[in-house]
Amino acid sequence: MKSNWLVGKTVLITGASSGIGRSLTEILIRTYSCRVIGIGRDEQKMINLKTSLGHLSDRFDYHLFDVSDQANWIDFSETISHDQTSIDILINNAGVMSRLTSIEHAGDFASEQVRSIMATDFLGAVDAIARLLPVIRQSSTPAIINMSSAAAFAPMPGTAAYSAAKAALKAYSEALASETRKRIYVSAICPGFVRTDLFRGQDEGLKDKRLRHFWMDSDRMARKIVKQMKRRKRQIFPGAQAKFIYILVNLFGIHALDFFSFILRKAKVQLFSDVFD
């Protein structure tokens, strides 16, 4: 398939109002003339995004709802069916880690908090796929892109629930890719640390300046993701950091995870301060 298969497609992106989701929206609209349907909960952020697109704003529409609620996906699928809206590409990007000001021990998480993270980061994507698959199948270039994480294969201290949700999404994506290989392009994206709302304000806690080079801004991350999407890669590890983590884990297994914990401890990242005794 030609490398410009993304041009002119209709793309649905969850978590489109900020971070990687917003960056992907802007790139796909500005560079590939896509139409993007954004899903999110913050209307002001959606309005700001639409305004920032200027004369291209008519290529962006949005719907406001919580992706973790299955009923919302049922209602949305009925809406697009009634409106005869086509979708070529689904990008499940919405995700949460913890609403706390710091990361906690795995045993400190309340079950409700774990369920909330799983509902957004994993089950929300599953519900989106289940409800939108009939529409996506009608496209000449159907694609499902799931935003997993390097945490799926290299869980960091204090991110037990988040890592579990992303690991589930990665495994789900790989199984779905095998099942639909000749009919639908399915990919799992596994980025490393990204400068988004989750880690904003943590730079001062990075005492080791070398560690700062591993953090990537969302615009740069999105460009790398789209580049690999054009090549229809089934697994995407955007950036040197994600590739480095993947290689170390494959070579050294659990010892690599111990090494990452050591780095975080020495770097004195404030967000992780409560994890280490």
So where are the chain's domains?
A: 10-272
State percent of the chain over pLDDT 70.
82
pLDDT of residue 274: 66
Report, as an integer, the average pLDDT of 253-258.
85
More confident: 242 or 118 = 118
With beta carbons less than 8 A apart as the criterion, state whether 149 and 193 touch.
no
pLDDT of residue 255: 87
pLDDT of residue 256: 83
Task: Judge whether residue 33 has pLDDT over 50.
Answer: yes
Band (pLDDT 50/70/90 cuts) for residue 107 is: low
209 burial level (CB within 10 Å; 0-12, 13-18, 19+): exposed
Band (pLDDT 50/70/90 cuts) for residue 82 is: very high
Report, as an integer, the average pLDDT of 196-217.
54
Rg, Å, the chain Cα set: 18
> Cβ neighbours of residue 242 under 8 Å, at least 6 residues apart?
150, 190, 191, 192
> Cβ neighbours of residue 259 under 8 Å, at least 6 residues apart?
248, 252
Please state, rounded to an integer, the average pLDDT across all residues of the chain. Answer: 87
pLDDT of residue 102: 46
pLDDT of residue 117: 93
Task: Judge whether residue 200 has pLDDT over 60.
Answer: no
Q: Which CATH number fits domain 10-272: 3.40.50.80, 3.40.50.720, 3.10.50.40, 3.40.50.970?
A: 3.40.50.720
pLDDT of residue 207: 46
Give the tens place of pLDDT for each residue, 125-175: 999 999 999 999 999 999 999 999 999 998 887 788 899 999 999 999 999
Report, as an integer, the average pLDDT of 245-267.
82
> Cβ neighbours of residue 154 under 8 Å, at least 6 residues apart?
245, 246, 248, 249, 256, 257, 260
Band (pLDDT 50/70/90 cuts) for residue 216 is: confident
Q: Write out the H or E segment, with its range, that includes residue 187.
A: strand 185-189
pLDDT of residue 263: 73
Q: Among 116, 128, 208, 230, which residue's Cα sits nearest to residue 176?
A: 128
More confident: 191 or 239 = 191
**3-17, 72-86, 95-109, 252-266: which has the minimum mean pLDDT?**
95-109
Task: Judge whether residue 277 has pLDDT over 70.
Answer: no
For tokens 């904003």, name the residue: 200
